[in-house]
Amino acid sequence: MPDTDISPILVTGAAGFIGHAVSRRLGERGESVIGIDNLNDYYDPALKAARLANLNALDGFRFAEMDISDADGVKTLVADSGVQRIIHLAAQAGVRYSIDNPFAYQKSNLQGHLSLLEASRHAENFRHLVYASSSSVYGDKPMGGVGFTEDEPVNDPISLYAATKRSCELMSQSYAKLYGFPQTGLRFFTVYGPWGRPDMAYFGFTRKLLAGEPIEVYGEGRMARDFTYIDDIVDGILGALDRPPAPHSNRILNIGDSRPVGLMEMIRTLEESLGIEAQKIMRPMQPGDVTATFADVSKLHALTGYEPKVMLEDGLQRFVRWYRDFYGNLPPA
């Protein structure tokens, strides 16, 4: 059951894809939410502004424009607002972007995560920090017909993004041991859906198909991803939030669909949803990419009853309807 009380929940990255969806669901179930975001221009700021407009229309939502690397600002906000639970989703995303912009990841992912840890440990009666990790920590692991499990070694990251996410898990482990407050790290697997990120493949393919442009298919189409619909992701996040681990624990959980889909199958499904056949340019795999992802979600299921419900065909149809409503049949500027 929802663990509602009078203390607000802090959501970092509230104008982002997952942060927007989580904040809306929290508002719908009667929680007070403080959202923070630095509203950077990594992708279309107009999309972030539209998400934020949705949230500002909710009762009980308050927004503070803030960079999570501002440790003093985050600590003061948490203390002054009486925050006892945090859902930390803000980070510099993108495997490929980390190749050319490494210091953005140092600031947002490492320094930013440390800011939230410090704010949590100093907060009065603090109860639970839930934070975003990533399936990228598993490295380029052969899929082998079974899902990736949380107990596997994760010592071979192939991108700086993955390395920062694993570093955040280790930082949280040390803070849980030192200071006792419960933490849950969620390893996300390829989240998609309405209000999504324009740098994701399905989003970029949609823009190009509607513009009559060819699409570049990396890994020559041989990659597979555990595409997970946004509503299912939110179910898992809030299920974990409402069930904190014991004190001094840093619990790690996979959160995915557990039904990996090949890249070419995803493209065919998207073509059917749009009614457009793509002109495909096959490219080799890019540095930092992994061949496949596949989540074993048995631990999250046992804890919360988590059961992904939205199949890729339905999820992409919902995304296409949203896209056409938001942008029309033209690509965003």
User: Could you read off the pLDDT tens digit of each residue along the chain, which spans 333 residues?
Assistant: 455 568 999 999 999 999 999 999 999 999 999 999 999 999 999 999 999 999 999 999 999 999 999 999 999 999 999 999 999 999 998 888 888 899 999 999 999 999 999 999 999 999 999 999 999 999 998 777 789 999 999 999 999 999 999 999 999 999 999 999 999 999 999 999 999 999 999 999 999 999 999 999 988 788 999 999 999 999 999 999 999 999 999 999 999 999 999 999 999 999 999 999 999 999 998 887 888 899 999 999 999 999 999 999 999 999 999 999 999 865 544
Residues 6+ apart with CB under 8 A from 100: none
Quote the pLDDT of residue 289: 84
What Rg, from alpha-carbon coordinates, does the chain have?
A: 19
Tokens for 13, please give them.
């990255």
Q: What angle do CA 151, 154, 157 make, to 5 degrees?
A: 160
Quote the pLDDT of residue 329: 61
Quote the pLDDT of residue 330: 56
- Whether 242 contacts 5, CB under 8 Å: no
Quote the pLDDT of residue 28: 95
- Whether 250 contacts 169, CB under 8 Å: yes
- In DSSP notation, 127-142 reads -EEEEEEEGGGG-S--
pTM value is: 0.95
Q: Alpha carbon of 124 to those of 83, 85, 177, 220, 290: distances in Å?
A: 8, 11, 18, 52, 41
Sign of CA dihedral 39, 20, 161, 171: positive
- Whether 172 contacts 129, CB under 8 Å: yes
Task: Return the number of other C-beta atoms located less than 10 Å from residue 267's C-beta.
Answer: 20
Q: Could you tell me which residues are beta bridge partners of residue 37?
A: 65
Cite the DSSP H helix spans in the chain.
Answer: 17-28, 45-56, 71-81, 97-100, 102-105, 112-122, 160-179, 201-210, 230-241, 263-274, 298-304, 312-327
Strands 250-255 and 183-188: parallel
Tokens for 312, please give them.
């890729």
Quote the pLDDT of residue 1: 44
Q: Alpha carbon of 86 to those of 35, 92, 123, 175, 206: distances in Å?
A: 10, 18, 11, 15, 34
CA 290 to the chain's CA centroid: 17
Tell me the catalytic residues: 161
Count of CA atoms in the C-beta half-sphere (13 A) of 327: 23
Quote the pLDDT of residue 222: 84
DSSP secondary structure letter of residue 289? -
Q: What is the spatial distance between Cα 35 and Cα 44, in angstroms, rounded to a whole number?
A: 19
